[in-house]
Chain A
Amino acid sequence: MSSLVIQDLHVAIGEKEIVKGLSLTINSGEVHAIMGPNGTGKSTLSKAIAGHPDYTITSGDVLLDGASILEKEADERARAGLFLAFQYPSEIPGVSIANFLRAAVQARMAEGEELDATAYYKRLYAKMDMLKIDRKFTSRSVNEGFSGGEKKRCEILQMAMLEPKFALMDETDSGLDIDALRIVSEGVNTLRGPDLGVLMITHYQRLLNYIVPDYVHVMWDGRIVKSGDKSLALELEAKGYDWVKKELALA
């Protein structure tokens, strides 16, 4: 069993501290949802864990299976088993989905090992079918001109191909129509299992009806201020963040 342990993490962008001492342990097989108001640092947390160079970790640690990943480059972290589904995936003109994913798959192979192109395409097409992505997308440039929903689906396609140990999914549900939400959720549920841990950032309780979380956390001003099971999401939906704010004020 794998674990991703976030220990008292502090993250700054430039001089500004955004994540202010956040701790969380995710074991494989678990799905954790993080909810929280805009600007509270959810994306910052996920990008910092993924190794974005603009985000400085000022203190704390992130351990994957007991070993710190903070000294590793983003690509090493990914190969070690981390995956970030971006809130705003980049568009990369001129680089086709097929070539991009092939490079990502190849990056995980041993030196000198040859990629079996036939098997690769077979697997790719199977995952695309699962996510109801037109096969023609393989020759399109990564995310270029994709609709918001297509971009999110493409993120899950990559996750399905790369089989991470831990997936950080940043608002994967935003921009999805009702059908797409169902398809993407089914896709994630298919990938869900004892070998995958998920940290799912969302604003909408609706997603949690499809992908039922084991834990729900509320993030506020760079910290987790409340944790519970899926009923917490329902309570939040009913009472809004003001409720959390009041509780915090009382505490």
Chain B
Amino acid sequence: MTSSIETMSAAPAVGSFTPEAFAAHLASLPPGLPAWWLERKRAAYARFAALPMPGRTDEAWRFSNISGLTLDGFALPAAATATPYAPIGIKKSAKLVFANGRLFSREVLAADLVARGVIVDTLQNALVRHEALVKEHLLAQPPKFGPGKFSALHEAFLADGAFVYVPKGVELEHPIGLFHYALGADAAVFPHSLVIAADQAKVTIVEYFGSTDDTEAQFAAGANDLYAGHGAQLTYIGKQDWSHRALSFQSNSTVVRRDARVQSLNLHLGARQARHESLSQLQAPGAFSEMLALTVARETQEFDQRTLQIHQAPNTKSDLLYKNALLDQAKTIFSGLIVVDPDAQKTDAYQSNRNLMLSEQAEANSLPGLEIQANDVRCTHGATSSRIDPEQEFYLQSRGIDKTTADELLTFGFFEEVLNRLADEDLHAALRTLIQTKFTK
């Protein structure tokens, strides 16, 4: 009864994520988790419950469809029984599959990699077995895209996720696959991946978020922590393919240490409304972060991307390229900020958002920004929106290719600049195949 009164009053709202639901969640956790973690979860829940829902005047939510943000009607789902659909297979070093927040299946690492100290495990196990590492890195970066109501919700309800640790000097030949599924109507999930590439380590992570049914309303509040130690090379591919009726929040945080290189590419396909926050902190000289994203926005979908490139040390580099293809009545928001701290001289930062408008009714919003406190830096940013070039379209049509297929080819042509940044041919091909599904639907 109290909850219905709460949801009727403006804010702060908890919706389906009531104190009772939180208590039930805590009770469902396995025994033996560290006390500090449970304490953090309780504090996170209190923050979540106290924070108001984002409002129309919130700068951090500018252009977002506020009325689409709802916490009502969702439930913590039961364990999955059916095998989730398995997306395109590329060879993996190891694989963890989560369904409705629980480990569903796994493919373990080869024995030699285990012997060399590589760890691919659940977060629940890691909290016990590798407590110090988890404590140091798990959700260690405070929210920087507003007060963080949904980040707090994630931390409060995070049950399990992936933990990857690649020790010093170890290079993995094949990617590690992390899969998160939401199964069933109204399912609420809280996926998390924590990836630590120690000094000189090299690893590629491929993370997939998906539903089995494209018509079910679902809710996701996910996050990940990526850490690249001294000289490490970390490649991260995220593929968001939730149900087209899902509401999704994802907050990614990347820490790049001395001479480390991180390349991330986020592909956004699913959800009715998806917010994706991406934070890159370049903490020591020589650090490099390449931030890439591709979005196919259709029908009435909204993709809301917020980025921060924070240069905290001299001689650091970041390069952001976000490309959106918009069809139908879809909407995108790109809000990106480059921050250069006072002593981060010789920063080289680049930020570009490009939108391909395939429909008159689609809407792309772009808010590029700079906040520079050092004087010897090179920062460039820009945003463009363009339409399909009619001469190119005619050229393709004159070869017998129909207009829809021609536009699809031209969209892939537009995306190629991003896909080409991937060194791995198989990954490139797998991403193309997945993007293709969005056009054939």
Q: Which residues of A contact B (CB under 8 A)?
A: 50-54, 73-75, 78-79, 83-84, 86, 89-95, 99-101, 103-104, 107-108, 141-142, 158, 162
Dominant SS at the A interface? mixed
Taking CB as reference atom, which chain B residue is nearest A85? B398
A73-B397 in contact (CB<8A): yes
Residues of B within 8 A of A79 (CB): 400
A51-B395 in contact (CB<8A): no
With A92-B410, A95-B413, A100-B409 already in contact, 8 other A-B pairs whose C-beta atoms are closer than 8 Å: A74-B398, A78-B400, A89-B395, A90-B391, A92-B395, A93-B417, A107-B400, A108-B400
Q: Which of B390, B403, B413, B417 contacts A75 (CB 8 A)?
A: B403
A95-B400 CB under 8 A given contacts A53-B390, A89-B395:
no
A100-B398 in contact (CB<8A): no
Report the bound CA distance from A99 to B412 in whole Å: 10
Report the bound CA distance from A240 to B358 in whole Å: 48
Closest 6 CB pairs of A and B: A94-B413, A94-B416, A78-B400, A90-B395, A95-B413, A74-B397
Residues of A within 8 A of B406 (CB): 75
* B414 sits at the interface (CB 8 A): yes
Report the bound CA distance from A103 to B400 in whole Å: 9
B397-A78 in contact (CB<8A): yes
Report the bound CA distance from A78 to B403 in whole Å: 13
Residues of B within 8 A of A75 (CB): 397-403, 406
* B392 sits at the interface (CB 8 A): yes
Of B389, B390, B398, chain A has the most CB atoms within 10 Å of the CB of B398
Residues of B within 8 A of A53 (CB): 390, 394
Residues of B within 8 A of A73 (CB): 397, 402-403
Q: How far is the CB of A118 from chain B (nearest CB, A)?
A: 17
Report the bound CA distance from A73 to B393 in whole Å: 12
A86-B395 in contact (CB<8A): yes
Of A84, A89, A103, A141, chain B has the most CB atoms within 10 Å of the CB of A103
Q: How far is the CB of A175 from chain B (nearest CB, A)?
A: 17
Q: Kindly supply a per-residue 1/0 record for chain B positions 368-396, scoring 1 wherever the CB is within 8 Å of any chain A CB and 0 otherwise.
A: 00000000000000000000011110111
Report the bound CA distance from A161 to B413 in whole Å: 22
* B215 sits at the interface (CB 8 A): no
B399-A78 in contact (CB<8A): yes
A51-B409 CB under 8 A given contacts A75-B402, A90-B392, A94-B414:
no
Report the bound CA distance from A89 to B400 in whole Å: 15
Q: Kindly supply a per-residue 1/0 record for chain B positions 413-431, scoring 1 wherever the CB is within 8 Å of any chain A CB and 0 otherwise.
A: 1111100000000000000
Q: How far is the CB of A96 from chain B (nearest CB, A)?
A: 8
A52-B394 in contact (CB<8A): yes
Question: Please, could you name 21 A-B residue pairs with CB atoms under 8 Å apart, sorted by A?
Answer: A74-B394, A75-B399, A78-B400, A92-B396, A92-B410, A93-B416, A94-B412, A94-B415, A95-B409, A95-B416, A100-B399, A103-B396, A103-B409, A104-B396, A107-B399, A107-B402, A108-B400, A141-B413, A158-B399, A162-B399, A162-B400
Report the bound CA distance from A168 to B395 in whole Å: 14
Taking CB as reference atom, which chain B residue is nearest A103? B401
* B405 sits at the interface (CB 8 A): yes
A103-B410 in contact (CB<8A): no
Residues of B within 8 A of A84 (CB): 398
Q: How many residues of B contact A (CB 8 A)?
A: 24
Report the bound CA distance from A92 to B406 in whole Å: 11
Taking CB as reference atom, which chain B residue is nearest A79? B400
Residues of A within 8 A of B414 (CB): 94
For chain B residues 66-87, which have a beta carbon within 8 Å of chain A? none
Report the bound CA distance from A158 to B412 in whole Å: 20
Of A52, A89, A92, A104, chain B has the most CB atoms within 10 Å of the CB of A92
Q: Which of A51, A93, A100, A108 contacts B396 (CB 8 A)?
A: A100
Report the bound CA distance from A54 to B394 in whole Å: 10
Residues of B within 8 A of A94 (CB): 412-417
Report the bound CA distance from A202 to B161 in whole Å: 67
Report the bound CA distance from A107 to B400 in whole Å: 6
A78-B405 CB under 8 A given contacts A94-B412, A94-B413:
no
Report the bound CA distance from A141 to B412 in whole Å: 12
Q: How far is the CB of B176 from chain A (nearest CB, A)?
A: 29
Of B400, B406, B414, B416, chain A has the most CB atoms within 10 Å of the CB of B400
Report the bound CA distance from A90 to B398 in whole Å: 11
Residues of B within 8 A of A95 (CB): 409-410, 412-413, 416
Of B390, B391, B415, chain A has the most CB atoms within 10 Å of the CB of B391
Taking CB as reference atom, which chain B residue is nearest A74? B397
Q: How far is the CB of B63 from chain A (nearest CB, A)?
A: 28
Q: How far is the CB of A20 from chain B (nearest CB, A)?
A: 23
Of B397, B405, B410, chain A has the most CB atoms within 10 Å of the CB of B397
A51-B397 in contact (CB<8A): yes
Report the bound CA distance from A79 to B403 in whole Å: 13
Residues of A within 8 A of B403 (CB): 73, 75
Of A73, A90, A141, chain B has the most CB atoms within 10 Å of the CB of A90
Taking CB as reference atom, which chain B residue is nearest A168? B398
Report the bound CA distance from A99 to B436 in whole Å: 13
B394-A92 in contact (CB<8A): no
Report the bound CA distance from A53 to B397 in whole Å: 11
Q: How far is the CB of A81 from chain B (nearest CB, A)?
A: 10
Report the bound CA distance from A162 to B394 in whole Å: 17
Q: How far is the CB of A219 from chain B (nearest CB, A)?
A: 21
Taking CB as reference atom, which chain B residue is nearest A108? B400
